[in-house]
Structure formats: structure tokens, C-alpha cells
């Protein structure tokens, strides 16, 4: 999926701009990522084009899903020591609160890493980390 | 309610969802218990630049929109039903440069919850992804009257 050279550059510098620029869908929704030591925080700045429900207004549930799914894939790519490209198998998403028209954050956790399959938990929140708007679980197949 | 009314309602509804407009979603078929939407191929939603395969997130949005808009076909009175949960199984990558369709149906409806399933496929007939979702019924009154009239195309 992603050039190993870009992946190494991202690992060494903690600068995600090249990696994000290489994935059109990441730019389409406006995903960004910041590294704090070993921790990665994914960000989705407020964007009109990402809205669904116009009455609230709220971010489209599918965009929240896409944001979390892509965050998990990037997280997993960087967590691998070798260049193994994760392929998503399935994705299970619980919506806990409406995602309002403001910046959204996501954090991932590798629950289990097997030889071929990885299980990743993703949590997304807005103003308060203790009030997640969504939690998700994804399985990825790892291929050399 | 006939299929033309259903198509008009769903079209008006998805046109109020910015992200659905951005993706260019459109209605291809409606029945009293099912809805099919089409996601055209677009280079901006590619997830894998080497192969041109679109990202799963766009398919998730297609399936969430199709399953969520299905209520406009299945219920006489327009209710917006928030998604409780969604599970997507990816069967195969979508073939590039071709549209993806999603057909959703209600398989159980209760006073509080609607259960749906949805299949994403391409013209070749191959399944790209399957999705099951549940939606919460919060009642028509949860939406302003003006918005409901805009979607149903008349007084409610």
C-alpha cells in the first residue's frame, strides 16, 4: 500500500505529512496524525464536507468509521518492524454519541498481534477523552 | 407510497448530507423493504495508490448511508434513525474505475430498534463487502417539522 521509503521516513522523523499525502482518502477526509513519544494521536479537523445530519449538525457516521479504520491501518503499519502491509478483514463500530461539527481524535491499541492477523481497538472522542463518541475493533491480515 | 416517491424522498435526503454529496451517492433502486445506492469511482477516495483501489472508509460511508436511508423506504412517516452499531466484513477489494453499489434491507423492525443488512457489490456481481447494522428509533418528533417536510416533499 505505502512506499517502504515513506514508511521509514515517517518512523524516523515522526513527520506524517508524506505518508498522509500518499493516501488520497486521508486527504479526502482531512486526516492528520501527531506523534508524542511512542503515542500516536490521529486527528480529524472539522470540515463541512464531512457532515452527515445537517440538523445537529453532525459528522457523517461513515466518515467517523473511515477515519478510525484508516487510523488503525496507519498505526499498524508503523507498529510493524518489517514492512508488512495490513489488509483489513473486518471492522466493527459502536456509535456512542453524535460526532459534532468539531475536531475529532482517535487513538489505537494493538490488542493482539498474531502471525497473520492483528486485532486493533480504536477509540474516538471530541472535547473530552472520557466521553468517547465511538469505539471500534478491526482485524487486519498481515502480508509480507 | 410508490417507488418513485421513495426514490424522490431518498434523493432529497442524501442531498442534505454533505459527505454523501461529496462522494456523489445516488439512488439506483427502491422497494418497500430495500434500497440500492451507487458510489461512483473517484480518484480522491483511493486508499491504495499502487492499485487504485478505493478505501474501505468510502465503502463504510456508502453502506451506512444506504442502511440509514432505508428507513425512508420502509417507514411511511420520516424518522431519522441514528446508527447504533455497524459491522463490515470485507470480502474483496473493489475493482478500480468501476462504481460500487450497496443494497440494504430491513430484516427486523421493533418499536425501538431497526436491524438491517447490506451488501456492497460491483457490476460483475462479485460481493465487495457485507454489513449488518442496528439503528435506534427516536421518533419523527426528534427532527424539526421544516426539515421533515423538505424530505417528504409535503406537509407532515
What number is the ipTM of this complex?
0.95
Q: What confidence tier does A2 reach under pLDDT thresholds 50, 70, 90?
A: low
Contact (CB<8Å) A54/B17: yes
Q: What confidence tier does B76 reach under pLDDT thresholds 50, 70, 90?
A: confident
A100 touches chain B (CB under 8 A): no
How far, in Å, are A6, A44, A46, B22 from residue A16 at the CA level? Answer: 9, 14, 19, 25
pLDDT in tens, A85-108: 689 999 999 999 999 999 999 999
* C-alpha to C-alpha distance for A60 and A19, rounded to whole angstroms: 24
SS3 readout for chain A: CCCHHHHHHHHHHCCCHHHHHCCHHHHHHCCEEEEECCEEEEEECCCHHHECCCCCCEECHHHHHHHHHHHHHHHHHHHCCCCCEEEEEEEEEEECCCCECCCEEEEEEEEEECCCEEEEEEEEECCCCCCEEEEEEEEEEEEC
Cell 418528533 sits at which residue?
B141
Mean pLDDT to the nearest integer, A105-130? 96
Is the pLDDT reported for residue B30 higher than 70?
Answer: yes
| pLDDT confidence of residue B80 | 87
CATH 3.10.129.10, domain B3-150, yes or no: yes
Torsion of CA B137, B143, B146, B151, to 10 degrees: -40
Q: Which residues in chain A are contacts of B44 at CB distance < 8 A?
A: 24-25, 27-28
| pLDDT confidence of residue B109 | 94
| pLDDT confidence of residue B4 | 93
Q: What confidence tier does A82 reach under pLDDT thresholds 50, 70, 90?
A: low
Mean pLDDT to the nearest integer, B13-37? 96
For chain A positions 122-141, those within 8 Å of chain B (CB to CB) are none
Q: What is the pTM of this model?
A: 0.96
Task: Report chain A's terminal Cα–Cα distance, integer Å.
Answer: 11
Which CATH number do you get for residue A12?
A: 3.10.129.10
3-class secondary-structure state, position B79: coil
Q: What is the mean pLDDT of chain A?
A: 93
Contact (CB<8Å) A55/B80: yes
Is the pLDDT reported for residue B11 higher than 80?
Answer: yes
pLDDT in tens, B144-153: 999 999 999 8
3-class secondary-structure state, position B102: strand
The percent of residues in chain A predicted with pLDDT above 90, rounded, is 81
Q: What confidence tier does B154 reach under pLDDT thresholds 50, 70, 90?
A: confident
Which domain covers residue A14, as residue numbers? 4-143
Mean pLDDT to the nearest integer, B10-19? 96
pLDDT in tens, B99-122: 999 999 999 999 999 999 999 999
Exposed/middle/buried for B87, CB within 10 Å: 0-12, 13-18, 19+?
middle
Contact (CB<8Å) B47/A95: no
Q: Which residues in chain A are contacts of B80 at CB distance < 8 A?
A: 53, 55
The backbone torsions φ and ψ at residue A24, rounded to the nearest 5 degrees and listed phi first, read -55, -40
A72: left (phi over 0), alpha (psi -120 to 50) or beta: alpha
Is the pLDDT reported for residue B127 higher than 60?
Answer: yes
| pLDDT confidence of residue A125 | 98
With CA atoms as reference, report the closest residue to A137 among A96, A104, A86, A91: A91
Tell how strand B100-109 and strand B113-121 pair up.
antiparallel
Cell numbers of A45, please? 479537523
Exposed/middle/buried for A12, CB within 10 Å: 0-12, 13-18, 19+?
exposed
Contact (CB<8Å) A89/B89: yes
3-class secondary-structure state, position B126: coil
B151 touches chain A (CB under 8 A): no
Mean pLDDT to the nearest integer, A3-26? 92
Count of structural domains within chain A? 1
Mean pLDDT to the nearest integer, B11-21? 96
Residues 6+ away with beta carbon under 8 Å from B76: B1
| pLDDT confidence of residue A84 | 66
Residue A37 to chain B, least CA–CA distance (Å): 27
Cell 474516538 sits at which residue?
A124
Amino acid at each position: 500500500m505505502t512506499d517502504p521509503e515513506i514508511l521509514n521516513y515517517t518512523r524516523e522523523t515522526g513527520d506524517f505529512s508524506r505518508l498522509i499525502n500518499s493516501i488520497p482518502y486521508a486527504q479526502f477526509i482531512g486526516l492528520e496524525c501527531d506523534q508524542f513519544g511512542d503515542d500516536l494521536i490521529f486527528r480529524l479537523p472539522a470540515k463541512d464536507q464531512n457532515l452527515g445530519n445537517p440538523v445537529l449538525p453532525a459528522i457523517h457516521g461513515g466518515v467517523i468509521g473511515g477515519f478510525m479504520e484508516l487510523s488503525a491501518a496507519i498505526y499498524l503499519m508503523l507498529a510493524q518492524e518489517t514492512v508488512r502491509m495490513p489488509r483489513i478483514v473486518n471492522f466493527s463500530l459502536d456509535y456512542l454519541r453524535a460526532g459534532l461539527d468539531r475536531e475529532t481524535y482517535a487513538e489505537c491499541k494493538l490488542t493482539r498481534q498474531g502471525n497473520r492477523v492483528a486485532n486493533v481497538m480504536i477509540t474516538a472522542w471530541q472535547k473530552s477523552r472520557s466521553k468517547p463518541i465511538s469505539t471500534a475493533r478491526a482485524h487486519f491480515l498481515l502480508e509480507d | 407510497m410508490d417507488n418513485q416517491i421513495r426514490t424522490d424522498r431518498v434523493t432529497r435526503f442524501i442531498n442534505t448530507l454533505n459527505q454523501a454529496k461529496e462522494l456523489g451517492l445516488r439512488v439506483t433502486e427502491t422497494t418497500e423493504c430495500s434500497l440500492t445506492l451507487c458510489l461512483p469511482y473517484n480518484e480522491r477516495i483511493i486508499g491504495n495508490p499502487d492499485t487504485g483501489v478505493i478505501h474501505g472508509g468510502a465503502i463504510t460511508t456508502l453502506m451506512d448511508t444506504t442502511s440509514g436511508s432505508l428507513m425512508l423506504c420502509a417507514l411511511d412517516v420520516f424518522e431519522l434513525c441514528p446508527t447504533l452499531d455497524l459491522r463490515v466484513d470485507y470480502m474483496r477489494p473493489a475493482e478500480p474505475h468501476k462504481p460500487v453499489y450497496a443494497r440494504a434491507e430491513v430484516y427486523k423492525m421493533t418499536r425501538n430498534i431497526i436491524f438491517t443488512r447490506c451488501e456492497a457489490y460491483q457490476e460483475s456481481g462479485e460481493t465487495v463487502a457485507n454489513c449488518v447494522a442496528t439503528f435506534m428509533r427516536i421518533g419523527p418528533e426528534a427532527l424539526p417539522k421544516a426539515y421533515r417536510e423538505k424530505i417528504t416533499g409535503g406537509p407532515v
